[in-house]
């Protein structure tokens, strides 16, 4: 029997549980420890004796276009690949290819080098997490600048603690200092200084305009040099650790390095150049705007240095043209599932709170900010709380569920997609109790969403973009928990290499079975959506996970 498209009264709903992966039920697995009867049941493959299709699928490494299977997935990559239905090279892999070919040293880099007699600043995440940046890329850029005759290089470092083991800022700072020492021996006419720094969630790396004060602190530290003064980054870290031994790298306060006279050693001046060396775009857009946009009203910035060139590692937002110049050309994905549905005249709704709003819109749509059809697409953003996520770990799960239930009962949308942010954002804090609450809040919302789908005779798909909250303690290669100097487990605040769930709960009169895809990943979700909506699947799409008859 030929599958029939869903009508708006029998919608297809995709719920993306950000950062919820599948692992053994250990004491640090928030999904396993949570009182989440709905999720536990559907992942196990049954719901009130109703058969449910449940599969583990891949969301990391080469399955999502990253260089190797040692690379964890992330929200940007996950939504890109899920919405595109195909695997294509992602940021880290694109940068590696451009470095190997030499294409990275093209016109944008040559423009940077026209400022070689002034300061060249490098702003980005000092990390080897390979999610937003890689310290190896930074070191290559610094050495190339020195080879090309740059006289003074200034680094503005952002500490990680999310994509790598926390409280390791000193490790990456030492690695950087070793590289600087080698560079200055090889290139004695080049001087490298660290001008400022701060934790990524405190300084510079805001996204989706959730909290411009984070960017303001970055501007003050990097550009004008008015953050808390220290004579070295080492002195700053030692002092900040002494003041709060528990402080996470990601929340380290911003600081500026000053000389003996108390003047900043690396403030941005007229005719300087700035290279934003993160390859992932979402947390670079706002600092780019602060350094380049005129007029600028997000915070009291004051005048920019004259003739300040700002270049990004990659294109951060293709529709907004941010940045105007970039070292590595982007992959603009066309033919995404939502583009195909818009062309077919199928109405869609996308919903998430601020922290993940861009993921279910911009990244899902192949790095496109605009809608494909204003008349057919509805986007709903729920403002996120502006507090550390472990303080209000339920986040906006209830409100997201409310909007999805409204969309279902409205009968207007054959396809609805949403993101529940708690597994990722709370998981990044490393707090097991808070992450458990986050999962429980998601479960409560999903129960209501499922009830609405059931009443509408629709279909509910549940998956995730990557893992996070299912492993909240760092382990060695043998699986043993890592302990800190006090004998306490080291919190894991990064994403994981775990598979993620794919669950299908169908209340229509169709017959839906597993298609038996052997290498199933989140790239197969788009074809599955098209199949369930009775739409043709492009030849270059990865196969659907379900068979519909």
In the chain, the N- to C-terminal Cα span, in Å, equals 5
Residues in a beta bridge with 473: 491
CA quadruple 37, 39, 45, 51: dihedral, nearest 10: 80
Of the candidates 82, 114, 84, which has an alpha carbon nearest to the alpha carbon of residue 15? 82
Instruction: Give start and end residues of each alpha helix (H) in 219-367.
Output: 233-243, 285-292, 337-343, 354-358
Q: Please spell the DSSP secondary structure of 62-117, one letter per residue.
A: GGGT-SSTTSPP-HHHHHHHHHHSS----HHHHHHHHHHHTGGGSHHHHHHHTTTT
Residues in a beta bridge with 196: 156, 256
Annotated catalytic residue within 10, 54, 75, 523: 75
Burial, 295: exposed, middle or buried (Cβ in 10 Å; 0-12, 13-18, 19+)? exposed
Distances (CA, A) of 48 to 42, 51, 505: 9, 8, 12
Structure tokens at 64: 């999502």
Q: Tokens 């405190």 — which residue? A: 202
Residues in a beta bridge with 326: 312
- The answer to whether 498 is a known catalytic residue is no
Residue 540 contacts by C-beta under 8 Å, 6 or more apart in sequence?
Answer: 86, 335
- Pairing state between β 500-506 and 459-463: antiparallel
Q: Tokens 């699947």 — which residue? A: 537
d(CA 160, CA 172): 10
| Residues with catalytic function | 75
């Amino acid at each position: 029997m030929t599958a029939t498209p869903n009508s708006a009264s029998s919608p297809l709903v995709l719920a993306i549980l950000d950062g919820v992966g599948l692992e053994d039920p250990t004491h640090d697995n928030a999904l396993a420890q949570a009182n989440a009867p709905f999720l536990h049941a559907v992942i196990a493959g049954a719901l009130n004796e109703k058969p449910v299709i449940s599969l583990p699928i891949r969301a990391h490494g080469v399955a999502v276009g990253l260089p190797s299977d040692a690379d964890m997935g992330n929200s940007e990559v996950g939504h890109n690949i899920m919405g595109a239905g195909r695997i294509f090279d992602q940021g880290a892999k694109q940068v590696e290819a451009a470095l190997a070919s030499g294409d990275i040293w093209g016109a944008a880099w040559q423009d940077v080098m026209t400022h070689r007699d002034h300061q060249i600043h490098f702003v980005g995440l000092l990390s080897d997490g390979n999610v937003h940046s890689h310290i190896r890329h930074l070191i290559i850029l610094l050495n190339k600048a020195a080879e090309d005759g740059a006289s003074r290089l200034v680094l503005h470092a952002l500490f990680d603690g999310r994509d790598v083991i926390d409280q390791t800022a000193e490790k990456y700072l030492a690695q950087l200092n070793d590289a600087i020492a080698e560079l200055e021996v090889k290139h004695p006419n080049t001087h490298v200084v660290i001008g400022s720094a701060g934790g990524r969630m405190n300084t510079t790396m805001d996204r989706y305009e959730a909290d411009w004060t984070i960017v303001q602190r970055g501007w003050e530290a990097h550009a004008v040099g008015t953050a808390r003064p220290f004579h070295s980054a080492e002195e700053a870290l030692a002092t900040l650790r002494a003041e709060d031994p528990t402080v996470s790298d990601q929340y380290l306060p911003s600081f500026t390095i000053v000389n003996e006279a108390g003047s900043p050693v690396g403030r941005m001046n007229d005719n300087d150049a700035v290279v934003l060396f993160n390859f992932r775009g979402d947390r670079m857009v706002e600092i780019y705007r602060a350094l380049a946009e005129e007029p600028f009203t997000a915070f009291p910035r004051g005048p920019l240095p004259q003739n300040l060139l700002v270049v990004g590692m990659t294109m951060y937002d293709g529709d907004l043209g941010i940045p105007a110049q970039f070292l590595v050309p982007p992959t603009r994905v066309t033919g995404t599932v939502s583009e195909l549905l818009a062309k077919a005249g199928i109405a869609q709704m996308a919903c998430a709170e601020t922290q993940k709003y861009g993921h279910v819109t911009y990244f899902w749509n192949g790095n496109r900010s605009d809608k494909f059809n204003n008349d057919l697409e509805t986007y709903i953003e729920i403002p996120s709380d502006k507090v550390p996520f472990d303080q209000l770990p339920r986040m906006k799960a209830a409100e997201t569920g409310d909007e999805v239930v409204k969309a279902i009962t409205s009968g207007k949308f054959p396809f609805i997609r949403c993101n529940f942010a708690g597994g990722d954002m709370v998981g990044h804090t490393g707090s097991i109790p808070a992450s458990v609450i986050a999962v429980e809040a998601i479960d409560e919302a999903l129960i209501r969403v499922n009830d609405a789908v059931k009443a509408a005779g629709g279909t509910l798909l549940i998956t995730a973009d990557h893992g996070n909250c299912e492993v909240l303690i760092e382990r060695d290669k043998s699986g043993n928990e890592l302990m800190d100097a006090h004998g306490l487990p080291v919190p894991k605040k990064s994403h994981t290499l775990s598979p993620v769930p794919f669950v299908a709960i169908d209340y229509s009169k169709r017959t839906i079975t597993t298609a038996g895809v052997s290498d199933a990943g989140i790239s197969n979700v788009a074809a599955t959506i098209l199949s369930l909506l009775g739409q043709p699947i492009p030849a270059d799409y990865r196969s659907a996970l379900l068979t519909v008859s």
